[in-house]
Structures are given as structure tokens and as C-alpha cells.
Structure 1
Amino acid sequence: MSAAAQPTVPDRALLVVGPLLAVHGLWTVLMARDRMRCKAALVRMTRVAELTQRALVRPLPADLGGLATAVRTRSASEGALVGGDLHDAVLLPSGPRLIVGDVTGHGLDAVRISAAVLSAFRHTAATEPDLVRLAHILDDRVRGDLGDEDFVTLLIADFVPGAVRLVNCGHPPPLRVGRTLEVLESRCPSLPLGLSPTPSVQTVLFTPDQRMLLYTDGLTDARDAHGTPLALDCRVRAALSAPALDEALANLVDLVDHHSAAHDGDGHGDDLTLLFVQPTAGMLTGPVLPVPKNEGVPKNEGVPTNEDVPSGPQGNLGRS
């Protein structure tokens, strides 16, 4: 072969680089296609996760059998709609029945246990009239889902004309808002689900000029820069006295965020659920149902009054 016919150096480089460029182009196309497929799969998985979470936290109607309701929930886990908190409601012939609970811990395990509690409640709450039996049923149903160190605090509330019946298994006591702010501590506290609870019924008066807040410990555990928890004082009563229930909860969330801003930074230290209710005018105002004599008191320990609220500063805050 003559010197003129032999490939030059650029020709040899082209013979080597050309196929490499073709392979790189093909690899780029395939990678782009894979990224598109992964992105589409992520969108589908995100949508499924969102729908699953929304199935757990079903929105409550603004009016549930004569009980006006407003709800605020917030997960401590970034990007999650739910965490260890749970709430739900059913409408019984006697009136609305509400549940608020808190699973110890965070993350997927807490969500799994929350789902088990809600499933048991939705399967049983509409057909079991007795609150104490219902609490025991929920404890039995979820015990197999709990680890050695897991438990669930729980509050169940039956709203009947003129009153509300409460069963509290280790949960923060509800607040009754009227002329004063009252912490409705139970006289017979019970351990949470998973720790052999001994529930009893506490009955308190509840009239259309009063409101009631059911909440999780994300409210009372909110701490400032000095580690001081949020006090249930006149500021909370003022926030909850706004004309509309939704406005009242917005005020309370602002109060929590302002109190804990220096401590938590931009994040939230705990899950938070706030469920605020009030009887609507002309409803839930019939004759007050009789209170069974054994409600709220273990055997052989006497009979409480209808107004099972402790005296002292914890039971009478923020007097106007």
C-alpha cells in the first residue's frame, strides 16, 4: 500500500472515537428513558402513598349529627400526611362518637399501628354501645400489632344531649371551653392500650355555649427555648374563643408555633392533632340522659357527680 493510501492519524482517531460516540449516545438515550420510567414510577408510588394516608385520616364533616367540628393535623415527619396520631368519628343513634389517639414513636411503625387502631374502631364503633367494652375490644385487636415497648394512648368521646361521655386510656385530658378553660381530668386514670388498660366512663355536662378540644400531646409537649411546655392558660382560652371553630384552631396552631419556634427551628417536634367541637344551636340540646351510678368510679368507691371535673387551678383556668 502506498503512503498516500494509508489512514492518517485523524482518520485513525475517527475510526476509534466514532463508535465510542455512538455507544455514548445510545447509553444517554437509555439512561434518559430509565429516568423517565423511574420518575413515572415515583409519581405513581407517591400518589398511592398519598391516597393511603388520606384513607387513614378521613376528613370529618363540618356538622356531625348536630356537632360542629373542625380538625387540624400535622405530622412531625417531613412530607408525611400522617404519623403516630389518629382520629375518626362515627354517628350513632344516640349521637356522634369520636376517637383521638397517639401511638408511641414515629415513622412507618407508628403509621402501621395507627392504621390497626383505626381499622378496629371502624369495624366495631358503630355496633358496640358500651364505651368500656369498646376500649377493651380495641386493646385486644391491636395488642398483636404492638411491640414490647409500644402502646397507644386513646380517648373516646360519646356526645349525647347535654353531655359527653369519655373513656380515657392514658391520653391527654380534653379541654372544655366556656366562661372558663377546664381540663377534664379523669378521677380514675387508665393505662394506654397495650399496657393492660382499666377504662372507666367519665360523664361531663356539655351545652351549646361550650366547646371541647380533643388533642394529642403535640400541643402540651410544645416547648420554648428554655424547655418550658406550652401552658394551658388564658392565651389558649383566648385562641379557642374565636367566633369560628376553624379560626380558633388556626389561632391555637399559631400560638404553638410561636411558643416552640426557637426550640424546634423550622421543624415540628411531634405529631399534632387538634379536634375542636361544639353542639350546634337547637341540636344535642334535648333532655340530659341519666348518668349510670357506676360511671367514672371503680366498684365500692362511691358515685361521682355529673360534673366530673377536678377543682383547683388545673380544672378552672383562664376565668373571664
Structure 2
Amino acid sequence: MRWAPEVWRFLADGALTSHDAVAGWRLAPGVLLIGPVLVSARSGPKATAGVVAWAVAMYLVLSFCAGLYGGGPSPAAAVLDCLLLITGGAAAVHGARRRVAREAGLIRVAQRSRDAVLRPLAAEADGVGFSSLYRTVSGIGLGGDLYDLAQSPYGPRVLIGDVRGHGPEAAVLCAATVGAFREGACTMPALADLAAHLDARISGELGPEDFVTVLLAEFVPGEVRLVNCGHPAPLRIGPRAEPLVPSRPSAPLGLGPRPQLQRARLGTGERLLLYTDGLSEARDAKGAMLPLDDRVRDAACRPQLEECLDALLSLATAHAGGSLQDDLALIMCEPRSAKPADRRPRERSVNPQPRRRLDGAR
């Protein structure tokens, strides 16, 4: 074969070139420190220390292999390089420890802020039982869902809402909306006027594409009064789960809402589930949303209200494949006693709403 000598000559030249390259090889410690530095920016001190140990071991192995070819660093240089690697690695571990501690402090502050805005609801107010549940997909505990309860002169009033977006920016709008509700819930007789008050008060906090969906509920003996601004319709839990859809949908806060008062029967033995779209829009692997069917009704009929919310959370989480992709707020309301209606005169609304017949009336 005529080309055989040329092939063997090429292989011999390549071997000699590789030997010369390895013999003159020396790995700078700074190259191996890139890994620990990058890991320290995103992981904890233990993971960073593990990468430092890996970098030192790699340096020693490569230096040993280079020494077999008569190259590599001298023993003194190898010791110095190892000391540089360990010192730089220790600095990376310290930086990771400080970052983790700082993030933990921010999370504690965020959780305290959240707890100040989303206070636990009273277990009962004026003969109506309440229970709430809140979950957020944000790692710092701040989300875009909100709720509150006010014991007003007109009956218990509940707010539930959903801010566009997630995280700290959405949390600012949550705080503004809840603050406006607490300010007006006990002074405004008409729910529609309370919704207008919320819209006006948070307008200065809204960006060009921001909005807030809210649902206001007022409980009086035998019925619930609702004002819905672009929020998912609540479910009346009785023989079946029945959505209380408003006859005329309204835009969310920030988009010119014009809601109407809605009145619906809610007697002893029935419950009302208020929720955000983290429940109704929980999606499975195929993109199908959670149907609000008998499974939801069964979960909402547990003996205790807290058990109902836990069952609903488990149902949504299982449907979503084990983890929710959106913030979730749930409020379960249950009339527990029939109290005489408040006979005190009610002030007229600035924007009076037409009187509606009770849902289901003949």
C-alpha cells in the first residue's frame, strides 16, 4: 500500500506534538476557580465547597498526568497553586454563605409583610363561618392573590382578588388594594360604590398594562350580595356546585369597571367558595383546566371548612401534576345561624343599582 508510510509518519508526528504540548502544560488555578465562583452565585455553601474540592482534585490529577510526560508544575508550584485554589474556594464559600443569609433575611421580611396584608380571617362573624388558604409560586412568599374580611355595619364583607403578575411588583398592588378595602368597607353602604372606591384608590399604583380582578361579597341572613369586577364567579355549594355568574360581566379594576349588584340565596346548609384562577385554571399535562364539577363539590362538603380547603388544594395540585403554576387563594364561607336582619336605614348609593330578585326566586 503506497500510502502506508505516510500514515505512520503522520501518526508519529502527532504523538510527538502531543507529547511536547503535555510536557509544557501547566493549568492556571484561576481557570479552576471559575466553577466555584459561578456556583456560589446560585447555590449554597455546601454545594460551593463540593465544587472547590472537585477543582483541587482535578488540578492534582492533571498535574500528575502531566508529570508522567516530564512536564507539569514543580512540587513547590503545585503546593502554591493548591493553596491559591483553596483560598479562592474559601472566599467563594464565604460569599455563598453571606448570600444565603441575606436572602433568608429578605424572605423573613417578605413573609412578615405578607402576613400584615393577608391577615388570617376571623373564624366567624355575624353568624357566618370563614376559612382561608393561600399558596404562592414565588419563592419569597409574595404573590399576586389577595383577600380580606371586614365586619362592617352592613354585614360581613369579604374581598378576594388577583393582581396581574407575580412577585414583589404584584405584592405592592395587593397591599394597595387590601388597604383601600379596609378603608372603605365599613363606611360605604353600597358594594358597587366600594368597588369604585377601590378602583380610584389604586389607579396611581397601576402601570399601563396592570389590572386587578376583585370579587366583593356581603353576607346578610338568607342571601349573599356580590359585586364582581372580572373575577371568577364564586361557587354556591349545595346539592351541586353552582357558579354565581353575574348577568352583566364587568372589567377588572384599572380597566374602567362598571359592576352591578348581584343577589343570590345562601341559606343554612349551603356554602360559598370564593377562589382565584389558580384553582379554576390549574392545568394538567395536556393543558386541560380543572373542571369545577362533582369532585370540587365533594371536596367542599367536608365537615370542617379547613378540611375543605386542604382537599381543594390537593385536588388542584394533583390535577396540575404535583405543583401549582399560579398563585392560589381560597375562602370558604358558611352561614351558621339565622340572625334577624339589621333594620337600620341604609344610605343611598351614589350610583344606585336596580333591585334584583333573589337567585332562584319564582
Task: Give the TM-score taking structure 2 as reference length.
Answer: 0.69
**In 1, Cα distance between equivalents of 2:91 and 2:315:** 52
Structure 1: tracts of 5 or more residues without a match: 1-13, 15-22, 310-320
Name the % identity: 42
Deviation digits for residues 258-283 of structure 1 (CA, Å, limit 9, x no counterpart): 2111xxxx532111111001012x3x
Equivalent position SS for 1:117: helix
Instruction: Report the equivalent of 1:312.
Output: none
Instruction: Report the equivalent of 1:3.
Output: none
Q: Cα distance 1:178–1:113, how it changes in 2: closer, same or farther (>3 A)?
A: same
CA drift at 1:81 = 2.5
Instruction: Report the equivalent of 2:330.
Output: 274
CA drift at 1:63 = 1.5
What aligned pairs does 1:4-43 form with structure 2 within 5 A after superposition? Answer: 41-43=102-104
Structure 2: tracts of 5 or more residues without a match: 1-75, 77-83
Q: Cα distance 1:308–1:149, how it changes in 2: closer, same or farther (>3 A)?
A: farther
Which deviates further from its counterpart, 166-175 or 86-95? 86-95
Q: Cα distance 1:289–1:185, how it changes in 2: closer, same or farther (>3 A)?
A: farther
Equivalent position SS for 2:120: coil
The one of 124, 129, 143 equivalent to 1:83 is 143
Matched, 1:183 2:246: no
Q: Cα distance 1:36–1:259, how it changes in 2: closer, same or farther (>3 A)?
A: closer
Instruction: Report the equivalent of 1:112.
Output: 172
2:145 is matched by which residue type in structure 1?
D
Note if contact 1:74-1:273 (Cα within 8 Å) is conserved in structure 2. Answer: yes
Q: Cα distance 1:177–1:27, how it changes in 2: closer, same or farther (>3 A)?
A: closer
**In 2, Cα distance between equivalents of 1:203 and 1:273:** 23
Instruction: Report the equivalent of 1:237.
Output: 297
**In 1, Cα distance between equivalents of 2:100 and 2:317:** 35
**In 2, Cα distance between equivalents of 1:219 and 1:289:** 38
Equivalent position SS for 1:121: helix
Matched, 1:148 2:208: yes
Instruction: Report the equivalent of 1:19.
Output: none
What aligned pairs does 1:219-258 form with structure 2 within 5 A after superposition? Answer: 219-258=279-318
**In 2, Cα distance between equivalents of 1:37 and 1:231:** 46
The one of 113, 129, 139 equivalent to 1:52 is 113
1:271 is matched by which residue type in structure 2?
D
**In 1, Cα distance between equivalents of 2:233 and 2:91:** 59
Count of aligned residue pairs for this structure pair = 285
Instruction: Report the equivalent of 1:286.
Output: 340
CA drift at 1:123 = 1.7
Matched, 1:66 2:127: yes
**In 2, Cα distance between equivalents of 1:35 and 1:225:** 36
Instruction: Report the equivalent of 1:215.
Output: 275
1:275 is matched by which residue type in structure 2?
I
Instruction: Report the equivalent of 1:11.
Output: none
**In 1, Cα distance between equivalents of 2:199 and 2:286:** 37
Q: Cα distance 1:37–1:308, how it changes in 2: closer, same or farther (>3 A)?
A: same
Q: Cα distance 1:195–1:61, how it changes in 2: closer, same or farther (>3 A)?
A: same
Q: Cα distance 1:38–1:254, how it changes in 2: closer, same or farther (>3 A)?
A: closer
**In 2, Cα distance between equivalents of 1:288 and 1:308:** 23
CA drift at 1:36 = 7.1
The one of 263, 281, 290 equivalent to 1:203 is 263
Equivalent position SS for 2:175: helix
CA drift at 1:210 = 0.5
Larger radius of gyration: 2
CA drift at 1:308 = 6.4
Q: Cα distance 1:210–1:38, how it changes in 2: closer, same or farther (>3 A)?
A: same
Matched, 1:305 2:357: yes
CA drift at 1:46 = 3.1
> Which structure features the higher share of helix residues?
2
Q: Cα distance 1:32–1:69, how it changes in 2: closer, same or farther (>3 A)?
A: same
Note if contact 2:107-2:140 (Cα within 8 Å) is conserved in structure 1. Answer: no
Matched, 1:100 2:160: yes
Equivalent position SS for 1:100: strand
Equivalent position SS for 1:80: coil
Instruction: Report the equivalent of 2:254.
Output: 194
Deviation digits for residues 221-258 of structure 1 (CA, Å, limit 9, x no counterpart): 01122211111111111111111111111111111112
CA drift at 1:179 = 1.7
1:146 is matched by which residue type in structure 2?
L
| Structure with more relative contact order (C-alpha pairs < 8 Å, separation 6 or more) | 1
**In 2, Cα distance between equivalents of 1:34 and 1:304:** 64
Note if contact 1:222-1:229 (Cα within 8 Å) is conserved in structure 2. Answer: yes
Q: Cα distance 1:82–1:66, how it changes in 2: closer, same or farther (>3 A)?
A: farther
